[in-house]
Amino acid sequence: MATRVRFAPSPTGRLHVGNIRSALFNVLFARKTGGKFLLRIDDTDRERSTAAFEAAIKDDLRWLGFDWDETAKQSDRFARYDAAAEKLKAAGRLYACYETPEELERKRKRALASGRPPIYDRTGYNLSAEDRAALEGQGRRPHWRFLLEGRRIQWDDAVRGAVEIDTKTLSDPVLIRADGSYLYTLPSVVDDIELAVSDVIRGEDHVTNTAAQVELIAALGAQPPRFAHLPLLTGVGGEALSKRLGSLGVDQLRAEGIVPLAIAALLARLGTSEPVGPVADFAELVESFDFAKIGRAPAHFDPAELRAVNAKTLHAMPYEKARPHLAAFGAEAGEAVWLAIRDNCETLADAAAWTAILTRPLDPAETGRALTEKAATLLPPGPWSEETWGAWTKAVSAATGKKGKDLFQPLRLALTGRPHGPEMKKLLPLLGLERAKARLEGRAA
């Protein structure tokens, strides 16, 4: 079977690193096997889904480099779900239930109190036609449950190995709410069948759902795809990542100046036998991808670790690859500037700051004014090279008697406004004679 995988976000919020990791593994597997990556927008929740979130999700995926081969939108496919629901009803596998949420909660509590598992008791399934008519006469509207067969479901999970779940231990899942709207399960299964999805790669929180979905797939006359359930990605303290943790959103990471390659490098290697660190390009992650390398324990996401990987990624990034990121972040600079500053950049925000130092007016520095004014008179004529700094500071030292920190710190502060940064032998030629002279003399430049 040709590889066809899907990433299926709901447009009810922005993407965060937890679901981006799921998208990443789907992309890596598709590219490793020469398959197709499908983007499915799960927008059956009409109240919470918005066009703005859908656009934002697509923008984030494009920025990450996760281009999709095909796309589908669940709100365009309600007729397909209606047809599947009617097929299940005709086969006696989808039955009406009339309990309110409060009544179901009371049943659940009673079962737990008596030491029984809180499995639905199939009251709805055992109702007669007269019972149903009477309930509907009271104004009740049914929700619809899928009748499980109560058998052992087995599959060979690409991450977890052999998995077996007895559906006798599960409640018959609700597929359609009382207001007629669909829950996740039926639309997802119908889409996976009709879009010929070969492999479902998702979080391990779906493992139990998978057993019910395998039964549903069979009831619709299809064969199940292969499954790979990834250990969940958690925060440093072990908490689950969610859309509510905005600081971990892709939009926030993007605004902080994290580059996509660093995000992919970290998320692809967390919780695997591969060492976490920067990579030269995305193809390196594709080449090394293997489900067998993924461990079973939750992987911990640490923003500080991401910044460290991002810094190393920037330090090794050639100008041609850095240029579009710099331009998008408002840090446009030539190759000489990038090569001079990249080793001092943890994020693109740092690159923007150093580019501004080299190209925009700097407030006069007060530190060591007498020294810097004397140094201004000793600036050599151009053209300048990396050797200029050493020759010039040697002349300034001879003229003022200053050495070491007392010499170099005031000069750096006057020229850059910062006590630390890239090598001054690289920065001085980029500043040029007129700007350097003005800054040393205390004039904004």
The whole model's pTM is what? 0.87
Lowest-confidence segment of 10-24, 82-96, 366-380 by average pLDDT: 366-380
Closest CA to 366 of 410, 402, 323: 410
The per-residue pLDDT for 241 is: 63
Q: Which CATH class is domain 1-71+231-316?
A: alpha beta
- Average pLDDT over the chain, rounded to whole? 93
Using pLDDT thresholds of 50, 70 and 90, give the confidence band for residue 368: low
Reported confidence tier of residue 442, pLDDT bands at 50, 70, 90:
confident
pLDDT, tens digit (0-9, with 9 covering 90-100), for 83-93:
999 999 999 99
**What's residue 142's pLDDT?**
97
Overall residue count recorded for the chain in this entry: 445
Class of domain 80-176: alpha beta
Kindly indicate the confidence band of residue 443, based on its pLDDT and cuts at 50, 70 and 90.
confident
Tokens of 294: 């993924």
Question: How confident is the model at residue 331, as a pLDDT?
Answer: 87
Domain extents in the chain: 1-71+231-316, 80-176, 322-440
Q: If one looks up domain 322-440 in CATH, what number appears?
A: 1.10.10.350
Residue 219 pLDDT > 60, yes or no? yes
- C-alpha distances out from residue 42 to 9, 94, 177, 249, Å: 6, 22, 16, 19
> Do 51 and 280 contact (CB within 8 A), yes or no?
no
pLDDT at 263 over 80: yes
**pLDDT, position 242:** 53
- In the chain, the percentage of residues whose pLDDT exceeds 70 is 96
Do the strands 143-146 and 174-176 form a parallel or antiparallel pair, or are they unpaired?
Answer: antiparallel
CATH topology agreement for domains 1-71+231-316 and 80-176? no
User: Residue 366 pLDDT more than 60?
Assistant: no
Query: Which pLDDT value is given to residue 234?
Result: 85
